Every structure is written in structure tokens, then in C-alpha cells.
């Protein structure tokens, strides 16, 4: 260890801005370690000299030959031995078997696919693959939508799934068809690269095609972050296109930010300068939005970014929030959902460098031994936000300013007809659970093809038809209505905000129904509303997932149902309509047939005792769970009598 590093460590206690985090190692081979990057640390280290420089780059000490290797999960070994996510997937997809081996199953996630089988069937497993696209901000060109629609019929199960991260999921693709389907998507302005796996996932942004400066800037920022964090080693094209590249042009600012290594962020000699051979410890999620618009569920992301503009509407910089994430494990209190918290403010010119610094901090310090604890939220929970901020600043090279004050958040669905602000219209179409099928699928295709429309997918699993001329409004409305795609005023408000993950039959993690179960659950909730005298336009935010991983973000719902066994749910209460407050676990192991026993007394008391315009989530928080349980118990006693 160098004398300067020893001195720096001894100075940590004297100056809280000086932190040298321990290096746990992201490489197995010494020659692939991040090279040590140091700047001049001090003019003087004497206690009488207050003028001490802030460390701007994290020094990564080389490990001695006797240093013990850190424990790593099996997936870390697969990544290391894969030649940048190629082997053995490149061989497995060419075999005659319907499935791929364990290592390839993990690696194909980085390519945007999961291996699945139909869990409704007994006996021999019927393997297939789910493909997920990458669409920053939910943008889908006309050509790509039509191709995805065709692929669903030709190679899938005849449906498309709109996801909670603004992407498509195509289910039921057989292994023998994977290269054809992947190649078709790539050649038609699409990609699945990084839609799954231990790297940056799809970047969210408001799906509304409003022509305001702030919305356009949010979308452009999402595009740039997605580009910055896209893998560079070419493994995707080597596997699916035999090395042929289909890469869109990148802005100079993205290239500059990726190549910059002035603060020790990069692996200089690696085909993956940001990710290296090991990529990230776990998935990484980013969302960008504008003040008031929380259509993206901002605080559920690893990184949430908010565009800040001046009085003339010109974007000036960003608030950054870090540490959100939904996934947890039942009966393991060390795992938990978490909301992102303020990190700081940066100017608009610095956002890519700040995001890169956050990613690298997680890359170097996130746990790689146990994947249950590998998300960045656990790193921040362990370190605390102050230490996390200090380490990020070392990679960023600047101090963060305090976050700017923001107005109150709102959930915005953008359903129905709206002006874009450029002379055109857009139409937000509600799609129950994001499942595009049957007559709905047929009609959407006809409208999108006839009028040559681009579309956008929303984080609430709906679809927006963009750039519509005024003369097209009436015929489009008529076509949508005939297919059952009704204007929001004709849809039950419960359905408009509800979400569910796919769960059974294809998700291997599901332990209860979600997509197939939520229609009946919503009807029963509406029936309870009617019974206790709640008006027809009353609603609560209901989200249902088949397991605790939380893909439909149930921990933000006013009423979240999380599968915890066959036909059984853990009930979460206390989220809010604008998705700014985390729900809390209320009851475990509630059988689906017993939902009325639990919920009906709560809905009745909400009707009687709520404050003016008080939502159900706010009501349950104000009342407290002890009183809510008393209401349920009294109701049971009355029924028994």
C-alpha cells in the first residue's frame, strides 16, 4: 500500500469528505482489475492546515497474492467464464434440445430473454422463451409495432404483453425460432439487449408525446442514459446476427461520457469499459421524469431523475434520487422494498457523468455473494446515504448540490384524447393488464397501420397512439370503441389504475395467480364498494403479483396483493394514489376466497370515517393497523352471531 493511501486512510476520521471504500473485487484475474487511478490528494496532511483536497477518484488497491477470494454466487462464475455473455449460450441455441442449460439460462437474460415452461401442463415440460424488448421511454416506431404484432402470431402465443417498464413481452417462442425472431426485431428498429440481466434495464420516461421542452428533454435524457449504459462488446450481435451490427448513431456527449476515465470509472483495456467481465451485481433500473409527473413510479427505481427547468421552461439540471427497489423474499426481514432518497442536484451537462458514477459505485461495492442482497438499495441501506454520496462524488469528480424543492407529485395516466402541443393529437388507450389480444390486437394493428402511427407504452401497461391528425380522431375513436377499447369515462376506475404481473402459467417464480386472477378480484372489490355504499366513481389503486419480487410494484399500491401460496396472498396497505409512500404488510396468508372478510369492513369504515377526499391508502395509514384489525375482528364476531 502506498504512503499516500495510508495517509488518506488515517485522515478519514478527520475529514468526513475523505472516504476510501474497501475493495471487494469484481474480477477473478489480477490482470483484469480496475487500474488504480489517483489524483494528488493533499497539499499538506498536517492538522494545522485546513486546506485539504477532496479525493476525486477512488483508489483501487491491488490485492496481494495471498488475499482470499471473495465469495461469489454461481451467476458471477457464469458471467466470468462466458467471454462477455457469449459462451455457452452461442452453442446451446444450436442444439436440438428444446431447452438450454443452466449457464445459458442465466446468460440469455442479458440478451433480453427468459427460458420458461407451461406450468399448467403436467408431465414433460414444454419449454419456450419469453422475449422482452428495450424501448427507452416506451417509444415504439410504427414499423417495430407491426413487426412485433406479426411475430406474436407467427412465433408466439398470439398475444403481446405491455410491461410496467414500457416494453413488449413476447411469450411462447421456441428455441429453434429464437435467432429468426431476434434477428427480425433487430432489423426492424428494435432490440432486446439488456432488457433483462445484471445491467441497466429499460429506462423509463413519461410516455406522453407532449411537445413541451421539459418532456422532450426528459425523453432525450432517457435515450442518452440508455445509450451510455448499453453493452459495447458486441456479444448480442455475435450470438443472434453472427456478428452483423445494427447500431444507431450515438450523440457525441454519450460517447464522451462513456470514454471518460478521469476519475477511475472505466476498465481501460476491456471490451466493456463500464461493465467489465462481471457486469453489475444485479439488475439496475433508471427512470427520468418532470416535476409533478409520477407516471414512472420514480421512487421505485435504483436511480430516479427529475428535470428542473427555469421560469422560461428551459431545462437547467436534475434532481437525482437513489436506492429504490421492490423485490423482497417472504419470511426474510433482511429483504425489503425501498423508496429512493435524495442524492443531490447536478447541472444538465453533468447528468451522464453522475449516472455513470452511481453505476460504478454499485459495480464496485454491491454484493456478489448472495443475489437476494445484491440490489443497490441494500448497499445504500448498509452504508447510509451520506457515505454513498461521498463515494459517488469520488467517481463523479464533483460535489452534489442539495436537491431542489419540487411541487406535489401526481399520477398521470394520459388516457383518452389530448393535444400534443404541435398541432397533432394523441390518444391513450387502456389495455387491461397490458395484454394485447383478440379483437383488441386486431383493431390496434389496423389503426396503427392505416394511419402510420408511432406508439408509446406507458408504465401502467397502456398504449398511446401518437401524432394523430384532427380529421382522424372520429374514425379512430369509432374503431377503438367497437373493439372494446373504451374511453376512460366508460371504464371502471378500478381497472384504470390496477396492474398485475403475468404470473401463471409461464413465470417460473409465481406461487399465486396475478394476471388471470385480477379481473375477478376487481369485480369483487367493486361489489364490496356497492354493498357498503361507495359511489361508482370511487377507486383504490390495486396491484397484484404472483410472488414477492414485485414486478407490478404492489408495495406502492393502496391495496397490494402479493402471492404467498396457492390461492393465497399477503395484503399490503397504505400506498398512495401518487405513488410516493411505501405500503406496509397488513396480513399474511389470506385465501383468495376470504378477501371480503378482510376488505369489506375496511371499505365500510373508509366510507364512514374518511376525511374530505381522503384516499383509502391515506385512511389506512391514519387509522393504524391495530384499529383496522379490530374492525375485521368485530365484523367476524357479528357475522358469527
pTM of the model: 0.90
Question: Is residue 472 in some structural domain?
Answer: no
Mean pLDDT for all residues in the chain? 91
Spatial CA neighbour of 139 closest among 469, 551, 465: 465
Task: Report helix, strand and coil shares of the chain as percent, to nearest 5.
Answer: 35, 15, 45
Residues 516 and 390 in one domain: no
Give the span between the Cα atoms of 565 and 53, in whole angstroms. Answer: 56
Instruction: Dig out the grid coordinates for 592 from the structure.
Output: 383468495
Question: Is residue 282 in some structural domain?
Answer: yes
Which of 10-24, 109-123, 532-546 is predicted with the least confidence, judged by mean pLDDT?
Answer: 10-24
Q: What is the pLDDT of residue 248?
A: 77
Spatial CA neighbour of 184 closest among 215, 156, 162, 205: 156
What is the number of domains present in the chain? 2
Residues 386 and 510 in one domain: no
Give the span between the Cα atoms of 537 and 410, in whole angstroms. Answer: 18
Burial of 640: CB neighbours in 10 Å, binned 0-12, 13-18, 19+: exposed
Residues 127 and 259 in one domain: yes
Last residue of a domain, one of 362, 396, 430: 396
Residues 523 and 374 in one domain: no
Is the confidence at residue 25, as pLDDT, over 70? no
Last residue of a domain, one of 396, 412, 440: 396
Other CB atoms closer than 10 Å to residue 87's CB: what's the count?
17
Residues 506 and 382 in one domain: no
Question: Is residue 403 in some structural domain?
Answer: no
Q: Are 316 and 347 in contact (CB under 8 A)?
A: yes
Confidence of residue 246 (pLDDT cuts 50, 70, 90): confident
Strands 168-173 and 127-132: antiparallel
First-last CA distance in the chain: 77
H or E, element range at 320:
strand 315-322
Give the span between the Cα atoms of 456 and 222, in whole angstroms. Answer: 14
Q: What is the pLDDT of residue 245?
A: 84
Rounded average pLDDT over 176-181:
98
Question: Is residue 30 in some structural domain?
Answer: no
Q: What is the pLDDT of residue 68?
A: 64
Other CB atoms closer than 10 Å to residue 61's CB: what's the count?
14
Give the span between the Cα atoms of 381 and 263, in whole angstroms. Answer: 25
H or E, element range at 319:
strand 315-322
Give the span between the Cα atoms of 641 and 57, in whole angstroms. Answer: 71
Catalytic residues: 132, 201, 283, 285, 501, 507, 547, 551
Question: Is residue 158 in some structural domain?
Answer: yes
CATH label of the domain that carries residue 519: 3.30.413.10
Give the span between the Cα atoms of 639 and 570, in whole angstroms. Answer: 23
Strands 463-468 and 499-500: unpaired
Q: What is the pLDDT of residue 243?
A: 86
Q: What is the pLDDT of residue 31?
A: 32
Q: Return the ∠ at Cα 394 (arms to 389 and 395), rounded to 5°.
A: 100
Q: Are 550 and 566 in contact (CB under 8 A)?
A: no
Which structural domain, as residue segments, surrounds residue 153? 76-396
Residues 508 and 391 in one domain: no
Q: Are 318 and 403 in contact (CB under 8 A)?
A: no
Last residue of a domain, one of 369, 396, 423: 396
Q: Are 374 and 367 in contact (CB under 8 A)?
A: yes
Q: Which residue has the higher pLDDT, 9 or 574?
A: 574
Give the span between the Cα atoms of 429 and 477, in whole angstroms. Answer: 10
Each residue's pLDDT tens digit, 407-446: 999 999 999 999 999 999 999 999 999 999 999 999 999 9
Q: What is the pLDDT of residue 506?
A: 94
Each residue's pLDDT tens digit, 278-316: 999 999 999 999 999 999 999 999 999 999 999 999 999
Question: Is residue 109 in some structural domain?
Answer: yes
Question: Is residue 438 in some structural domain?
Answer: no
Each residue's pLDDT tens digit, 580-610: 999 999 999 999 999 999 999 999 999 999 9
Strands 286-289 and 168-173: unpaired
Each residue's pLDDT tens digit, 55-100: 334 444 333 444 567 899 999 999 999 999 999 999 999 999 999 9
Other CB atoms closer than 10 Å to residue 495's CB: what's the count?
18
Is the confidence at residue 11, as pLDDT, over 60? no
Other CB atoms closer than 10 Å to residue 38's CB: what's the count?
16
Each residue's pLDDT tens digit, 118-148: 999 988 899 999 999 999 999 999 999 999 9
Question: Is residue 229 in some structural domain?
Answer: yes
Instruction: Dig out the grid coordinates for 2 from the structure.
Output: 502506498
Residues 6+ apart with CB under 8 A from 119: 504, 505, 506, 508, 510
Q: Count the residues in the chain.
A: 641
Q: Are 553 and 297 in contact (CB under 8 A)?
A: yes
Amino acid at each position: 500500500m502506498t504512503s499516500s493511501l495510508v495517509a488518506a486512510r488515517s485522515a478519514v476520521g478527520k475529514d468526513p469528505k475523505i472516504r476510501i471504500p474497501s475493495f471487494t473485487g469484481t474480477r477473478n484475474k489480477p490482470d483484469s482489475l480496475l487500474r488504480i487511478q489517483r489524483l494528488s490528494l493533499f497539499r499538506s496532511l498536517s492538522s494545522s492546515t485546513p486546506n485539504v483536497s477532496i479525493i476525486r477518484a477512488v483508489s483501487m488497491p491491488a490485492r496481494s497474492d495471498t488475499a482470499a477470494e471473495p465469495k461469489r454466487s454461481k451467476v458471477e462464475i457464469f458471467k466470468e467464464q462466458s467471454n462477455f455473455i457469449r459462451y455457452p449460450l452461442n452453442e446451446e441455441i444450436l442444439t436440438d434440445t428444446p431447452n438450454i442449460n443452466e449457464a445459458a439460462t442465466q446468460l440469455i437474460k442479458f440478451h433480453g430473454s427468459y427460458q420458461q415452461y407451461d406450468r399448467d401442463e403436467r408431465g414433460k415440460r414444454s419449454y419456450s422463451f419469453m422475449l422482452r424488448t428495450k424501448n427507452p421511454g416506451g417509444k415504439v416506431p410504427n414499423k417495430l409495432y407491426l413487426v412485433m404484432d406479426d411475430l406474436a402470431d407467427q412465433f408466439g402465443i398470439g398475444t403481446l404483453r405491455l410491461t410496467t417498464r414500457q416494453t413488449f413481452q413476447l411469450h411462447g417462442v421456441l428455441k429453434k425460432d429464437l435467432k429468426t425472431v431476434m434477428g427480425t426485431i433487430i432489423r426492424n428498429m428494435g432490440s432486446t439487449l439488456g432488457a433483462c440481466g445484471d445491467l441497466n434495464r429499460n429506462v423509463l420516461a413519461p410516455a406522453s408525446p407532449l411537445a413541451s421542452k421539459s418532456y422532450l428533454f426528459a425523453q432525450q435524457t432517457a435515450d442518452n442514459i440508455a445509450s451510455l449504459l448499453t453493452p459495447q462488446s458486441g456479444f448480442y450481435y455475435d450470438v443472434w446476427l453472427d456478428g452483423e451490427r445494427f447500431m444507431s448513431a450515438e450523440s457525441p456527449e454519450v460517447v464522451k461520457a462513456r470514454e471518460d476515465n478521469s476519475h477511475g470509472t472505466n476498465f481501460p483495456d476491456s471490451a466493456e469499459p463500464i461493465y467489465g467481465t462481471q457486469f453489475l451485481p444485479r439488475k439496475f433500473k433508471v427512470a427520468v421524469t418532470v416535476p409533478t409527473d409520477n407516471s414512472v413510479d420514480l421512487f421505485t427505481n435504483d436511480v430516479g431523475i427529475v428535470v428542473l427547468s427555469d421560469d422560461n421552461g428551459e431545462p437547467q439540471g436534475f434532481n437525482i434520487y437513489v436506492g429504490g427497489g421492490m423485490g423482497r423474499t417472504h419470511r426474510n426481514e433482511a429483504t425489503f422494498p425501498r423508496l429512493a432518497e435524495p442524492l443531490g442536484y447536478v447541472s444538465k451537462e453533468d447528468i451522464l457523468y453522475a449516472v455513470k458514477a452511481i453505476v460504478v459505485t454499485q459495480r464496485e461495492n454491491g454484493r456478489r455473494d448472495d443475489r437476494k442482497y445484491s440490489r443497490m438499495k441494500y448497499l445504500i441501506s448498509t452504508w447510509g446515504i451520506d457515505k454513498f454520496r461521498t463515494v459517488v462524488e469520488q467517481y463523479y469528480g464533483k460535489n452534489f448540490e442539495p436537491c431542489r424543492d419540487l411541487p406535489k407529485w401526481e399520477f398521470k395516466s394520459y388516457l383518452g384524447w389530448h393535444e400534443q402541443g404541435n398541432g397533432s393529437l394523441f390518444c391513450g388507450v387502456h389495455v387491461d393488464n397490458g395484454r394485447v389480444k383478440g379483437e383488441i390486437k386486431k383493431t390496434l394493428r389496423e389503426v396503427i397501420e392505416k394511419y402510420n402511427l408511432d406508439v408509446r407504452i406507458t408504465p401502467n401497461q397502456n398504449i398511446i397512439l401518437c401524432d394523430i391528425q384532427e380529421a382522424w380522431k372520429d374514425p379512430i375513436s369509432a374503431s377503438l370503441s367497437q373493439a372494446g377499447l373504451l374511453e376512460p369515462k366508460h371504464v371502471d376506475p378500478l381497472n384504470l389504475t390496477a396492474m398485475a404481473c403475468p404470473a401463471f402459467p409461464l413465470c417460473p417464480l409465481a406461487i399465486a395467480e396475478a394476471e388471470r386472477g385480477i379481473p375477478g378480484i376487481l369485480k369483487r372489490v367493486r361489489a364490496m364498494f356497492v354493498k357498503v355504499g361507495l359511489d361508482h366513481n370511487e377507486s383504490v389503486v390495486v396491484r397484484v403479483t404472483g410472488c414477492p419480487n414485485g414486478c407490478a410494484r404492489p408495495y406502492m399500491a393502496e391495496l397490494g396483493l402479493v402471492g404467498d401460496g396457492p390461492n393465497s396472498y399477503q395484503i399490503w396497505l397504505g400506498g398512495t394514489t401518487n405513488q410516493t409512500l411505501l405500503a406496509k404488510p397488513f396480513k399474511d396468508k389470506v385465501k383468495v376466497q376470504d378477501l371480503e372478510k378482510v376488505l369489506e369492513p375496511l371499505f365500510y369504515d373508509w366510507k364512514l370515517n374518511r376525511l374530505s377526499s381522503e384516499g383509502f391508502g391515506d385512511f389506512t395509514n391514519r387509522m393504524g393497523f391495530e384499529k383496522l384489525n379490530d374492525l375485521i375482528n368485530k365484523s367476524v364476531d357479528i357475522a358469527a352471531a
